[in-house]
Structure 1
């Protein structure tokens, strides 16, 4: 029993327990919202960002808007911090970096904070939870956050979905976006493509070219689906035709997506027409990904 408790601790205190420490009401909430009482006021210069912060993009316009709100109302919702390891009197931001940045723009000298004794695992968990619940992350950052929770802490898609009040299909669909080329992911981060557009590209044969065409022509998601749909080849050798068969059905494409999300690599399934046998192909881009795949397969034995 003691060993089991120790193993659970190794995965952090659990999402449900951590969420009780994260109040996700926006900092610019209405005046009638009852604010949480901070543990203390901490000078701006004593606070430092969390290097594992899942949010990488801070839009200047949104920061300016928040800074103006803070000038008028102050910071209603305290940020969450922990003592900075190895630096007495300094603190690391666990959740609320955007408020901290905006507070500097508003020329505040100190900010309200809740001080918590989190370990490194809990710091990342809380940072991801807080950002996801606030809807502050773009789709790629959100997917990367889910991937970190799964890879580093052993959380399953089902556990994440239940704890965050989201469907498993939402989690799985976002994870599939991480299989897209980096250039396409950048388009999503920069707002050139929506998550809906990006999902249509997961099974596309040439996602980068299709993505550029979607942006150039300003296509809707429905139009993007038609553009990304695999085109039937006019001529194929008998052996090629027998292996590829007709266009893949929705169940096969969904299974490819689920497997891709599970291993973090592109997966292709080819069925023999009218038979139960076929071929499954996993594509890796680096030797590190190959090593990861070998580890996954070894652990499953």
Structure 2
């Protein structure tokens, strides 16, 4: 029985994008011909796992589409705003019509709603999510904070995702394809030496290093990190633990240098907005 994740995506457990953007008094569900609905050009998601779509198609074939799509009227039919997976699964299941709600939407709203829906369901990979935030910021003049509020995220979460776009294309492709985790990718960003970053990336792809081990390597090899006595390059495990704790709290690279009970803490940031966010966290 191929219900599993497919059925769960048809029956949301919390307030859906439909419930958020359309008051119940204005929801009129219509049955629209599948062939009359064209994809959303603002859809942030570009990768759809075949197995997941097959599971969803099986659920659609047995139960129908339980949550209507959101579409907007265009000259030759309708354009999808939210519900890309449901539309694709409906086509796969051979449905001729699907339930949908028609409403007006600006280009900005099309992107926002598609992004919110995917973020709610954790359907986007990190690169797709970052590119969607970038579109909101660059095309519609949002600040990182405004973009974060639109999708119910913290500013630091959006800032950290956007930083992934600073990685080379080869690494972004690995994230998109699921060969490199978001945690590993964030660790790569902390390595400023391109040669060491590439070597660490290849080790990650081979499965030869955990996130914790990768963080330790970056902490030893990064700027401002110095080896201990004897030139062995080892770091006091207590200091390393303190660095890890600060990284988790602040969401950025932190280096601690200590000698004789005195020392220095270096906290890195990558934009003015990240600096403001750090100041907010430190003043809490």
TM-score by length of 2: 0.69
For residues 232 and 137 of structure 1, the distance between their equivalents in structure 2, rounded to whole angstroms, comes to 31
- 1:232–1:120: structure 2 CA closer, same or farther, 3 Å change rule? closer
Say if 2:112 and 2:150, in contact at 8 Å, map to a contact too: no
Q: Which of 263, 268, 271 pairs up with 1:258?
A: 271
Q: Indicate the residue corresponding to 1:195 in structure 2.
A: 182
- 1:173–1:130: structure 2 CA closer, same or farther, 3 Å change rule? same
Aligned counterparts, 1:107-186, within 5 A: 107-186=94-173
Q: Indicate the residue corresponding to 1:78 in structure 2.
A: 68
Between 1:95-104 and 1:211-220, the stretch displaced more is 211-220
Say if 1:176 and 1:261, in contact at 8 Å, map to a contact too: no
For residues 61 and 261 of structure 1, the distance between their equivalents in structure 2, rounded to whole angstroms, comes to 38
Q: Indicate the residue corresponding to 1:103 in structure 2.
A: 90
- 1:42–1:232: structure 2 CA closer, same or farther, 3 Å change rule? closer
What do you get for the CA RMSD once the two structures are aligned?
Answer: 3.0
* Equivalent position SS for 2:43: coil
Q: How many residues align?
A: 220
The answer to whether structure 1 residue 49 and structure 2 residue 62 are counterparts is no
- 1:110–1:218: structure 2 CA closer, same or farther, 3 Å change rule? farther
Between 1:183-192 and 1:120-129, the stretch displaced more is 120-129
After superposition, give the CA deviation of every residue in 1:113-149 in whole Å (9 maximum; x if it has no partner).
1111112222122222221122110111111111111
The answer to whether structure 1 residue 28 and structure 2 residue 10 are counterparts is yes
Q: CA offset at residue 67 of structure 1?
A: 0.8
User: Once superposed, which parts of structure 1, at least 4 consecutive aligned residues long, lie more than 4 Å away?
Assistant: 33-38, 250-253, 259-262
The answer to whether structure 1 residue 58 and structure 2 residue 41 are counterparts is no
Residue ranges of structure 1 left out of the alignment (5+ in a row): 1-24, 234-246, 263-301
* Equivalent position SS for 1:81: strand
Q: Indicate the residue corresponding to 2:81 in structure 1.
A: 94
After superposition, give the CA deviation of every residue in 1:124-182 in whole Å (9 maximum; x if it has no partner).
22222221122110111111111111111122222233333222221111111010001
After superposition, give the CA deviation of every residue in 1:79-121 in whole Å (9 maximum; x if it has no partner).
111112x32xx11111111110011111111101111111222
For residues 274 and 164 of structure 2, the distance between their equivalents in structure 1, rounded to whole angstroms, comes to 9
Aligned counterparts, 1:4-15, within 5 A: none
For residues 259 and 158 of structure 1, the distance between their equivalents in structure 2, rounded to whole angstroms, comes to 12
TM-score by length of 1: 0.65
- 1:232–1:93: structure 2 CA closer, same or farther, 3 Å change rule? closer
Residue ranges of structure 2 left out of the alignment (5+ in a row): 1-6, 20-26, 224-252, 257-264, 276-284
The answer to whether structure 1 residue 249 and structure 2 residue 255 are counterparts is yes
For residues 30 and 92 of structure 1, the distance between their equivalents in structure 2, rounded to whole angstroms, comes to 23
- 1:107–1:220: structure 2 CA closer, same or farther, 3 Å change rule? same
For residues 260 and 228 of structure 1, the distance between their equivalents in structure 2, rounded to whole angstroms, comes to 24
